[in-house]
Structure formats: C-alpha cells, structure tokens
Amino acid sequence: MDNEVLLKIEGLRIEGRSGDEWSEIVKGVDLTLRKGEVLGLIGESGAGKSTVGLAAMGFARDGCRISGGTIEFDGIDLRVTPEATRRDLRGKRIAYVAQSAAASFNPAHKLIDQYCEAPVMHGVMPRDQAERDAIDLYRRMQLPDPEEIGFRYPHQVSGGQLQRAMTAMAMACRPDLIIFDEPTTALDVTTQIEVLAAIRDVVRQFDTAAIYITHDLAVVAQAADRIKVLLRGEEVETAETYKMLEAPKEDYTKSLWAVRSFTREEQPPGEGTPVVSVRNVTAAYGMVNVLEDVSFDIHAGRTVAVVGESGSGKSTTARVITGLLPPKSGEVLFDGEPLPPALKGRSREQLRQCQMIYQMADTALNPKLTLRQLIGRPAQMYLGLDGTALEDRVRELLDLIELDPAVYIDRLPGELSGGQKQRIGIARALAAEPKLIICDEVTSALDQIVQEGILKLLNKLQEDFGLAYMFITHDLATVRAIADEVVVMQQGRVIEKGTKSEMFAPPHEPYTDLLLSSVPEMDPDWLTCLLEKRAAAGG
Amino acid sequence: MILTRIAIGIGLLFIVSVVIFGATELLPGDLATQLLGQSATPETVAALREQLGLNDPAAMRYWNWLTGALSGDFGVSLANNRPISELISARLGNTLFLALYAAALAVPISLILGVLAALWRNTVFDRVANAGALSAISFPEFFVAYILILWLAQTGLFPSMVRINPTTTFVDRIYMSFLPALTLTLVVTAHMMRMTRAAIINLMASPYIEMARLKGMSPLRIVLRHALPNALAPIINVIALNLAYLITGVVVVEVVFVYPGLGQLMVDSVSNRDIAVVQAVALIFAAAYVALNLLADVLSTITNPRLMHRR
C-alpha cells in the first residue's frame, strides 16, 4: 500500500447552532487517511460521523461551523483555502455518496446529466466522453441496462440501483477520496449486499481512498481497512479492522458489539382462538394484485414477525387488517368473528382492539400536540376517560414507557429524541387498551442501542398485558430478538411460515435462505466468502 | 389528464356563467325605467321591456344569452344599441396589451429579483428587495399611480393620460402606456418575487442541493439548475394568478390613467345599468381566469418529470 498521507485532520472541532447558542458537536477528532485506504467511521446517530465526513470536504452544513483544528487534503489546508479552491476540489478530487440516493438525486434531471455535471463543469472531460465513461461505470457497478439507464429520471429507477448510480457519479472524475455516508442503510439486506460488493470492487479497481460512515459494524467490517469509533463527537478508539473485531479495547466499543444480545425466549405456539386470523386474503391497488392468498394467525401474548423486502406486501397486509385497504377476497377474523372489510364498517370497539405503531415516529406524531394530548386522545375517545381519570391514565402510560410524567407530560414531540418519540407511539397505541398492536418497522429508524431499549419495552408490555404483536420488519436481527413465529413474504405471497426456531434452522425455502444469508456478519471475510459461495452455486 | 383539466375548466365556466347571469338578475333597478328617465309613462316602459325581451322567463333569456355568447355574439348594448362584441373587442385588445406589457416587465423582474434574493439571502440586497417589493404591494394601486404621475408625468417624461386609438403606432402605445404598466408591475412584482424566493429557499435544504454543493457547483448554478426547475410549479401558479389579475383587476389603474380598457367599460356599464355588457365582460374575465389557471396546471405538469415520465 502506498503510504503517502492523503488526508490529515487534527483537533477538528465543529459547533452546531440550536436557537442562538452554539454547542460543540465534534470535540477534537484526529484522522489520517493514506492513499487508497478505506477508513470506517462508526457510531450512533448524533456521534458526529456525518459531520466529520463532510468536514473532510471542507464543508459544514447550514447551522454548523468548523471552529477549530486543521483539515489538510493533499497538502491543501481546506479551512484557510479560498472557497473557489474548495469548490474545485469537491466533486473532482473528493466526492460524496449520500445516504439516501433517492433524495440526493435531483428529481428534475436525468441520471446521466447529473453524472456528467461534475466532469464537464470541472473541465475534466467533454460531455460525450463523460457519457461514454458513465455507461462504462454503470456497467462496472453492475447496473442493469447500462446503455440506457442513465437516460432515466431518478424516480424511474429503484433505490438500490440509484445508490449504485450515485457511487458511479462520485467516481466520475476519478477522485482521490470518496466519502460514503451510510450508503446502504436505507436498502434491503439482499440489495445491500449487491451495493456493498459493487462499492468495494470499484474502490479497489481505482485505488480510491474512502471514508465509510455507518452505524452498522458488520457492514463496515466488509469494506474498511481500519475502523474508527466515535461517541458524542469524540474518538473512542481506532484500530485495524481485524484487531478491532477480535479485541475491542474500550467498553463502549464492546457494547456496540454486544448490542444484539437481547433475545426473548420463544413461546410455544398459541392455542385456542387466535386474536387475529388472516384468511386467504387477496388485495389489490387498482388492477395490480399486491397480496395473493395470504393466511396466518396471531395468538394472544405472541409475536408474529412478518419479514420480506420492501414491496413484498408486509405493510399492505397491515393495511388490510386495519381496514385501510378492503381485500378483494378472503377475510380477517378477530377473536373468531369476521371483521367488516372496510374501516367505515367497523365499530369503535373493533377499531380500539387493533392499534398501530409506525416506522417514522417523527411524522406519526402531530408536532403541535403535547404528550398529554397525544396519549390522552385515544384514552378519551375509546374509553371515555376524562378529568383526573384521564390525567392519571396518561401519567400511568408515561410511567409504563419509562418516561417521567412530571418532566415530559407537557412536552411537544419536537423536544424528544428519536427513541423517546417511538416510546410515545407505543404509549399512544397502548392507551386504547388493544389486543393486537401492529408494529410497522418500529425500530428501523433507530440506533441499535435505542432499538434494544424499544424491543425490551415491547417485550415487557407483552408479558404484562398479554398483547399480540404483528411485527413487520426487514431486519432479521430484530426477528431473532423478539419473534415467536415468523411469516416470510415475497411479492405478495407467504412463502414460508413457522416458529422462530424452525425458521432459523435449515432447510429453508431458497428465498428465506437468501434473506438469512444476506444479513452481514461480524467477519471481515464474510462478504468475500458469501460472494464466492454464491458464484460457485450459480455457476 | 390534460383533457380532463380542460373539461373541468369548461364545466367551471358554465357554472360561472350561471352565477353571472343570476347575479345581474338580482341587481336592483329596472333597465327600461332607467333608460327612459323620470318622465316615462308606464305604457312606454312596458313597450320598451317588451322590445328588450325583459319579460321573457329568466331561463330562456339565459339560454339565448349563452348560445349567443358561445358564437361570439353578446347581443347589443342596452344603453346605446351597438353590438357588444364590437364594443368589447377594441377594449379587450387594449386590456390584453396592457396586461402583456405589464407582464413582460413584471415576470422577468420578479424572477430575477427572486432568484438573486434566494442566492444572496439574508444579505442587504435580499432585505432591500423584500422591503421594496412589500412596500410597493402595500400601497393602494391608485396611490402608487398618483405617486408615479407626480414623479414621472409632472416632470413631463411620460403622459399621465393614455389617449390611444386603433391608429396609434406600437411604439407610441408602449410609450403612452408606460405609467399604467409600471404601476401594475409594482403591484404584482412582490407576490411573484417572494414566491420565487420562498420556493427556491425551501428547496435549498434538500439533500440534492447539498449533493450539488458537494459536487463543487457554483451557487448560481445550484440555484438555476438544481433548485429552480423543482420550484417551477408554485412559481408558475403564482404567475398565472397575477396574470389573471392583470387582466381582470386593473379597473382602478385604468380609471386613474383614463385607459380605454375592459375595466373602465365594466365600471361605466354598471353605472349605466347596461347589464348585457356587464355580463359579457364578467364572462370574459372569468374565462381569462380559468384559461390562465388551466395553462398553469398544464405547465406545472409538463415541467415535472415525475408526471411526464411514468415509471
């Protein structure tokens, strides 16, 4: 490996503004990157990973400012050099791959126009050459139909393909350094592997240095030479990937490793009348069937995890159960009684029995209501509580979700952290005293440590109240932690169902196998081995 | 989809025509009495009512009026017996001329100011442009008009009265209509400029703008190429709304500058109880509103690739 230092950051301090006050969010981070080296930057959200990554481009988001330290890229101090120089470096010698390619591609322009922008504007190559180059890189990134895909608009291309197109775009000027900011976090496990492999290959082919930012250790282990762990804007430790995985030194790093330790004892299959029984449901949006003959039961006190990639019909099943989407055929039984297919036909009592918790707690809570109102409303509406009875109930619910009522009852959702907001979502569902709670990807927007807290809370509530959970997720680690039974869905069909222990032990349906084998493991060679295995099986 | 929009527009116009007809029916006073003056005998009034067709049932008169209007024949003016279409056509031309003139000034000015204000937001330029545009919109039109007359007409630079007729040359028209056009420009610029600025700034926080910045693009290019195309829909709608205003809302300005446009005709006809003309003008105004909003819808669709190119 070339030992020449490409990027040297020393004592980096970055401040963020909240209201009129500046507070430090990065507190003196050092970072050295040699040419062609890949550094993994990991930590929870709020650890300052992205902020450090952007600072490596001499960039601070609006409301942030670089307040101390030096950032030296190839001998140029990015803090003191004029903006014009920085602008010339960005896109040309340092490129950026954002977390959500779907949001980071401009919806108004074709992919190839956006690809060509940097090389043409930076004067690296003329437009026609850039176009040929784009097609070549699309091919290397294993995008389908590389000749044509560039001439589509971002909304016409899937998320995983966009993420690869964005990596290709970052490569356009053959930069010396690419910042990957959570490039696979928003993707399904099976897509994540493809993108990860493509990124790794192309970075190696062009000997590009990279900073790979993620909160998923197993992912970064596949790509990085070295790993740096950040916590609240400070470095915890840095080590070679192998050493870091074998023997993490600091307690915090160890806790990151141990985070998936929570596992709930699998309950024996439920007996008697199930709380919810989905029977031969077929449902459609317009003419297209999105669910075909879906059947499964959920018993009281049990958790059924519904897993599959996005588009497999998990959330649609939830919409059928809640009555938001009346099925074309088939029915949903609740406690053995058929539920009216449409929401309008259901009684308030039937509605009360089945509550939902959503993925994005941010958008699922009305930002203008206090927690008292948010949690109180279902209790008032379904159970007719008011006055002190209502007040007591809200306080009791806040206690249940482990938030101190005295502190939180009059707060607005905007004043809470992501995990706390999700707890409010849980309390709101609980307020109706339901028998079934549908949890739609409730932990996927959260950090692992926070996820663990939420899962433990859900588990405790289930034990206390005998709730039935339908747990929609694409994260198999969550399934392992909380499920009793598992339903695997693909393209609107149930392809396998059974108890958790059956599901995680072979033999599987081929698709279940693909899902299971795609979950990254804490082994730096995992991806390489997996790809070899798959290539061998395929060829 | 565009066809349904057009169908909705036509349906809307139909409803509007009913409302216009109904509303003028409700106006107090009787045209025949008005025309004949105080000394009219009941017999002559009755005879005139008969002649004007005022005794027919409302539905029938509405039907006659509507079918006539559709073929471009609005009937004759009740006040002076001239065909309304003739009366209107010259006036409509003048009004459209003034509206286009004002739009040709206002749209580029407000777009450029809006883009610059977004580019240099929170700078002195931004504040001055905002404050200026807001002051212009806050003053009543006639006040702006008289201020302009005081500054620009009293000094002899531009005429304060617009005496144009069909033989006036184009250059003279431009020159003579400058003050009313400028007044209208000042009135509508603020709205369009602030919407342009707000729509662009609203997008400046989006991830694809950050991406463009991280690709090393210049601020001007980011605003023009990355933000503006995505901000077009709200901007187009505000422009359409203001263009419609330029056609229909210019009454005060026309009166101040004695500009022979539709607005003046409308005001005169209302005071003459010339209901047939009022109806015709109101229908034209409504058609202008509907057509411009339709155009805005179509343009917003065309400029949005997500609507133009399906998956």
* Cβ-Cβ contacts under 8 Å, B208 against chain A: 103-107
Looking at the structure, do residues A244 and A322 belong to the same domain, yes or no? no
Sequence-ordered list of residues with C-beta below 8 angstroms from that of B217, at least 6 positions apart, any chain: A87, A91, A117, A121, B225, B226
For residue A360, the domain's CATH number is 3.40.50.300
B303 min Cα distance to partner chain A (Å): 8
- pLDDT of res. B35: 67
Is any Cβ of chain B less than 8 angstroms from the Cβ of A180? Answer: no
A404: in domain: no
Neighbour tally for A5: CB within 10 Å: 15
CA distances (Å), origin A471, targets A317, A357, A421, B197, B260: 11, 10, 18, 45, 72
Nearest by CB to B309, which of A61, A87, A153? A153
Token output for B208: 């694809």
β-strand A303-307 against A468-473: which pairing, if any? parallel
Nearest-CA neighbor of A353 among A429, A278, A442?
A429
Is any Cβ of chain A less than 8 angstroms from the Cβ of B127? Answer: no
- pLDDT of res. A355: 92
Looking at the structure, do residues A355 and A450 belong to the same domain, yes or no? yes
* Cβ-Cβ contacts under 8 Å, A59 against chain B: 213-214
* Cβ-Cβ contacts under 8 Å, B207 against chain A: 98, 100, 103-104
Instruction: Check: CB of residue A134 under 8 Å from CB of residue A151.
Output: no
CB B210 to CB A87 under 8 A?
no
Each of the 311 residues of chain B gets a pLDDT tens digit; together they read 778 888 888 898 889 888 888 887 776 666 667 667 666 777 877 887 777 677 777 788 788 878 887 777 777 776 677 888 888 888 888 888 888 999 999 999 999 999 999 888 888 998 998 898 888 888 888 888 888 888 887 777 777 777 777 777 888 888 888 888 888 888 888 888 988 998 988 888 888 998 998 988 888 888 888 888 888 888 898 898 888 888 877 888 888 888 888 888 888 888 877 777 888 888 888 888 888 888 888 888 888 887 777 65
pLDDT band at A361 (very low <50, low <70, confident <90, very high): confident
B170: in domain: yes
Extended beta strands in chain B, E state: none
A91 min Cα distance to partner chain B (Å): 4
A384 min Cα distance to partner chain B (Å): 42
Is any Cβ of chain B less than 8 angstroms from the Cβ of A421? Answer: no
Q: Which residue's structure tokens are 């890949």?
A: A38
Say how far apart CA A35 and CA A177 lie, in whole Å: 8
Interface test with B, best of A59, A85, A104 (most B CBs within 10 A): A104
Domain that holds residue A474: 276-366+433-505
Looking at the structure, do residues A215 and A243 belong to the same domain, yes or no? yes
CB B216 to CB A88 under 8 A?
yes
For residue B234, the domain's CATH number is 1.10.3720.10
Q: Is A523 left (phi over 0), alpha (psi -120 to 50) or beta?
A: beta
What are the CB-based long-range contacts (under 8 Å, 24+) for A231-240? A231/A43, A231/A44, A231/A47, A232/A27, A232/A46, A232/A47, A232/A48, A233/A14, A233/A24, A233/A25, A233/A26, A233/A27, A233/A29, A233/A47, A233/A48, A234/A27, A234/A28, A234/A29, A235/A29, A235/A30, A236/A43
pLDDT for residue A2 is more than 60: no
Looking at the structure, do residues A217 and A288 belong to the same domain, yes or no? no
Burial B184-196 (b: 16+ CB within 10 A, else e): bbbbbbbbbbbbb
Is any Cβ of chain B less than 8 angstroms from the Cβ of A63? Answer: no
B280: in domain: yes
Q: Give pLDDT tens digits for A478-529.
A: 888 888 888 988 888 888 888 888 877 777 777 888 877 787 777 777 788 8
Instruction: Check: CB of residue A58 under 8 Å from CB of residue A74.
Output: no
Residue ending a domain, choose from A231, A261, A291: A261
CB B230 to CB A62 under 8 A?
no
A203: in domain: yes
Residue ending a domain, choose from A261, A287, A319: A261
Looking at the structure, do residues A314 and A241 belong to the same domain, yes or no? no
β-strand A354-357 against A436-440: which pairing, if any? parallel
Domain that holds residue B157: 84-308
B175: in domain: yes
* Cβ-Cβ contacts under 8 Å, B221 against chain A: 121
A538: in domain: no
CB B215 to CB A54 under 8 A?
no
CB B230 to CB A106 under 8 A?
yes
HEC string of B124-179 equals HHHHHHHHHHHHHHHCCHHHHHHHHHHHHHCCCCCCCCCCCCCCCCHHHHHHHCHH
Sequence-ordered list of residues with C-beta below 8 angstroms from that of A316, at least 6 positions apart, any chain: A283, A290, A291, A325, A492
Looking at the structure, do residues A354 and A443 belong to the same domain, yes or no? yes
B49: in domain: no
Looking at the structure, do residues A459 and A498 belong to the same domain, yes or no? yes
CB B216 to CB A105 under 8 A?
no
- pLDDT of res. A469: 92
Instruction: Check: CB of residue B115 under 8 Å from CB of residue B109.
Output: no
Is any Cβ of chain B less than 8 angstroms from the Cβ of A151? Answer: no
In the beta sheet, which residues pair with residue A439?
A357, A471
Neighbour tally for A290: CB within 10 Å: 20
3-state secondary structure at position A209: strand
A535: in domain: no
A199: in domain: yes
Say how far apart CA A280 and CA B223 lie, in whole Å: 53
Instruction: Check: CB of residue A234 under 8 Å from CB of residue A29.
Output: yes
Nearest-CA neighbor of B145 among B272, B251, B19, B248?
B251
CB B216 to CB A62 under 8 A?
no
CB B230 to CB A108 under 8 A?
yes
CB A57 to CB B214 under 8 A?
yes
Sequence-ordered list of residues with C-beta below 8 angstroms from that of B308, at least 6 positions apart, any chain: B301, B302
A8 min Cα distance to partner chain B (Å): 19
B32: in domain: no
B42 exposure class (CB count in 10 Å sphere: 0-12, 13-18, 19+): exposed
Sequence-ordered list of residues with C-beta below 8 angstroms from that of B84, at least 6 positions apart, any chain: B74, B75, B76, B77, B276, B277, B280
What's the complex ipTM?
0.75
Say how far apart CA A324 and CA A316 lie, in whole Å: 9
Task: Name the helix (H) or strand (E) containing A284.
Answer: strand A276-285
- pLDDT of res. A288: 78
- pLDDT of res. B34: 67
Looking at the structure, do residues A36 and A67 belong to the same domain, yes or no? yes
Nearest-CA neighbor of B74 among B56, B92, B57?
B92
Burial A475-499 (b: 16+ CB within 10 A, else e): bbbbbbbbbbbbbbbbebebbbbeb
* CB within 8 Å of chain A, chain B residues 177-236: 205-208, 210-218, 221, 225-226, 229-230
Looking at the structure, do residues A290 and A360 belong to the same domain, yes or no? yes
A190: in domain: yes
Phi, psi of A455 (to 5 degrees): -65, -40
Q: How many domains does chain B have?
A: 1
Phi, psi of B176 (to 5 degrees): -75, -30
A457: in domain: yes
**pLDDT > 70 fraction of chain A, expressed in percent and rounded:** 98
Looking at the structure, do residues A294 and A239 belong to the same domain, yes or no? no
A87 min Cα distance to partner chain B (Å): 4
Looking at the structure, do residues A229 and A343 belong to the same domain, yes or no? no
Is any Cβ of chain B less than 8 angstroms from the Cβ of A178? Answer: no
Q: How many domains does chain A have?
A: 2
**What's the DSSP call for residue A186?**
T
Residue ending a domain, choose from A261, A284, A312: A261
Range of weakest confidence among A33-37, A107-111, A446-450, A465-469: A446-450
Q: Where are the alpha helices (DSSP H) in A172-290?
A: 189-205, 217-223, 241-246, 251-257
User: Could you give the count of Cα atoms lying within 13 Å of A446 in the half-sphere of its Cβ?
Assistant: 26
The CA R_g of chain A, rounded to the nearest whole Å, is 25
β-strand A468-473 against A436-440: which pairing, if any? parallel
The mean pLDDT value for A376-404 works out to 88
Q: What is the mean pLDDT of chain A?
A: 85
B57: in domain: no
In the beta sheet, which residues pair with residue A490?
A493
pLDDT for residue A1 is more than 50: no
B33: in domain: no
